[in-house]
Structure 1
């Protein structure tokens, strides 16, 4: 059984970090940045600060057994031509050491300075620089090197996937973080967990596969289990917003192998709890996953359907729009495809990765390619869907699904109409859809 009210109560009372502590976090970050902005040595290098990770994605959970929770933010600094990468981290630490408030709270890590509020939380301050050549980087202190990053792109990707999942992806991530911290049977960095779960969200019957929290949890875990089955050895784990950067250095094969085994086990437990028709037996099965804190709510709880503002069904169909579910294919899943979008060079305009640029102007050329773990041969289908008043007025909402007949595994488009559009790709083999991806295209 779904036990929707039980999930609502469990998230509200046990999993979610309460608003008071989130407000205190914001106050602390404000005080930290104020100290850095007024520092005599590096204050003039401050540009802005950007929440990242669980804080930016709104997936922070209440620490288990009153342990500290953690939050990260990027400290955007001016580039100093004569500084080595490690100098940025060293100088930020020195600034904290000059502060009476923080000198006893600061610890230097490999990529951040950590400010510890004992018994409550720690805040990781990550120096972040935009280099003269446009690269966005953070610092690896031990190797004295810059590492590419795309923080806003990752957050945008996360929001995109959460929207496809009717707002349920964030809840699934929180629940799996809780299972990780409660059971302590597997270890996985939150950024890797977010990536692995987000990549499982597919453009296939989204309204039903992600209709509520227990349904989304069962669906995403089953798809993750199927994908992990393909890889006994840890595969490359690229940043969805920055493909040249991988997260593999944050994990190892033993941790990955154990995670793979535990996901198979917990996916089977979730399916058993979901499919059980007897309420008492279903509750016992859910408690095997989450523990006894998952219990009958003390008051009436709001059902965990899509959050306010997020659709539980698709938007109105465009005149010529098609859906891959209507092509007579069956769903198999278990694989991955990723759309890579490049804005092609044009005099006077920005170009490069659309994930990095986030938006593109009209009358630009886009080049879409894919990467996938589905072995050839397979069929690739594309869908381009426009939105907004301009496309509507010109009868250009599009939405047809077309076969990649020349097997170029690529597609070129021109940005003609302002609006938030999207492109989707579907990998089909032997009459079954094995993987899909979705890429927003914002034209202004």
Structure 2
């Protein structure tokens, strides 16, 4: 389920930087502006410009005990005889000599940082105007003593345009959600400007006023699907250019390993988001979204969700059979509460056969089942299914196995399928199956949708040269009404 109200509450109460902190930030920035105008620093100040997440309105609340960052550009006229390092070095000296900021400041390569311990950091960076030619903008690299072209204002306009195309401020809200996901999971590395750019690249002019951006959870799913597809098409680290300064590559600081890790986890979280979005039943959907965003999501509904799941679990107990001939009402219960109410041994019914192959010392679980619903065996697919999706008793499913985050099964390996039926209808007709089957064609397995109940498809990867089992997918549940 989308749970639009719960997303609004989660953003307001957990993710967004609250109004009190924004007010304190603005007061601090105003004081810094006054200081820069009046201090003993030679450049003529032409103005100031917010930069980074603060300017883009994608700044988020820091995790407990953390500090948030804000960036401030000081637009200045060039000083005759100064090199790039002078602008940063001498600005740092001015702050260091101040009774107000001396103990709070530190000079870096491009900026001076003022830290308000345990609360916030403000980076103040010189931006030199018109040095090379009229209209040129350059930041200053103190360490290399070089001027570097910059287009911060045009980049901010680009992001604002993307937000207008997505509508309802949804691009900014989704960017905040994914920055929060990055910070709480700590499973991947991606600087904010790079993450924001990658997401903005997934929005185009034809997206305006479309259903793909109808609300925040739908925008989240749309952007994660598009980003994952973009990344999966690029196994080697690509350039991610500033859209208004092609010489600037935001991905330059990524290592190949960091990119591969980011690509893998975006693929994983895309699957989790799809599952939560498609989950039937409010309680089950809350739990699925919490798997992604933690217990802060829908935190006011913890007791309600737990009670609902308990109710569903109690109901399931009355519908289960030790022979797997479960009563038909199990489908309606899963429709209402989701797969999470099923007991842990549900996908191990007694008539299911064990694999006969010798097993590798470590059998990989990085095997996924992709399921596509078709009206007929040779027709075009109707839709891509997720485990637990409910389908009607007509047509069938083509199952495909992928490995290592969505890659095809490589040469030298073959796929075997274990297909298991449960439910009173299938077992009454002695069609519980639970055996292993060869692919129907080219590694894919075709299964018709016949019996009401919850059925199980699993892919097993066998190394051909020695007939050893090296990989096995998690169970994929097909719920037929």
Give the drift of 1:147.
Answer: 1.4
Output one character per residue of 1:385-436: Cα deviation in whole Å (capped at 9) or x when no partner: xxxxxxxxxxxxxxxxxxxxxxxxxxxxxxxxxxxxxxxxxxxxxxxxxxxx
Contact 1:77–1:127, Cα closer than 8 Å, also in 2:
yes
**Residue of structure 1 equivalent to 2:203:** 201
Contact 1:221–1:263, Cα closer than 8 Å, also in 2:
yes
Give the drift of 1:21.
Answer: 0.7
Give the drift of 1:296.
Answer: 5.0
Contact 2:165–2:207, Cα closer than 8 Å, also in 1:
no
**2:232 is the alignment partner of 1:213:** no
**Residue of structure 2 equivalent to 1:163:** 164
**Residue of structure 2 equivalent to 1:336:** none
**2:101 is the alignment partner of 1:102:** yes
Alignment of 1:8-407 (within 5 A): 8-42=8-42, 45-130=44-129, 131-133=131-133, 134-166=135-167, 167-206=169-208, 207-295=210-298, 297=300
Give the drift of 1:51.
Answer: 0.2
Runs (4+) of structure 1 exceeding 6 A deviation are none
Q: Aligned equivalents of 2:139 and 2:33: distance in 1? A: 18
Contact 2:14–2:61, Cα closer than 8 Å, also in 1:
yes
Output one character per residue of 1:138-159: Cα deviation in whole Å (capped at 9) or x when no partner: 0122221111111110111001
Query: Secondary structure at 2:247's aligned position in 1?
Result: strand
Which one has a bigger Cα radius of gyration?
Answer: 2
Q: Aligned equivalents of 2:102 and 2:252: distance in 1? A: 30
Contact 2:51–2:71, Cα closer than 8 Å, also in 1:
yes
Give the drift of 1:45.
Answer: 2.1
Contact 1:189–1:250, Cα closer than 8 Å, also in 2:
no
Q: How high is the TM-score relative to the length of structure 2?
A: 0.60
Q: How high is the TM-score relative to the length of structure 1?
A: 0.65
Q: Aligned equivalents of 2:244 and 2:81: distance in 1? A: 29
Q: Aligned equivalents of 2:256 and 2:112: distance in 1? A: 28
**Residue of structure 2 equivalent to 1:406:** none
Q: Structure 1: 5+ residue runs without aligned partners?
A: 299-444
Q: Aligned equivalents of 1:127 and 1:234: distance in 2? A: 31
Contact 2:138–2:148, Cα closer than 8 Å, also in 1:
yes
Output one character per residue of 1:132-175: Cα deviation in whole Å (capped at 9) or x when no partner: 41321101222211111111101110010000001210001000
Query: Secondary structure at 1:64's aligned position in 2?
Result: coil
Measured at CA, do residues 205 and 102 of structure 1 come closer, stay the same or move farther in structure 2, by a change above 3 Å?
closer
Give the drift of 1:189.
Answer: 0.7
Output one character per residue of 1:71-107: Cα deviation in whole Å (capped at 9) or x when no partner: 0011111101211111110011011012101111111
Q: Aligned equivalents of 2:259 and 2:132: distance in 1? A: 37
Query: Secondary structure at 2:276's aligned position in 1?
Result: helix
Contact 1:5–1:297, Cα closer than 8 Å, also in 2:
no
Q: Aligned equivalents of 1:89 and 1:263: distance in 2? A: 37
**Residue of structure 1 equivalent to 2:363:** none
Output one character per residue of 1:15-48: Cα deviation in whole Å (capped at 9) or x when no partner: 0001111111011011111111111233x52221
Q: Aligned equivalents of 1:169 and 1:152: distance in 2? A: 18
**Structure with more relative contact order (C-alpha pairs < 8 Å, separation 6 or more):** 1
Contact 2:224–2:266, Cα closer than 8 Å, also in 1:
yes
Give the drift of 1:249.
Answer: 3.1
Query: Secondary structure at 2:118's aligned position in 1?
Result: coil
Contact 2:239–2:252, Cα closer than 8 Å, also in 1:
no
- The number of residues matched between the two structures is 299
Give the drift of 1:244.
Answer: 2.2
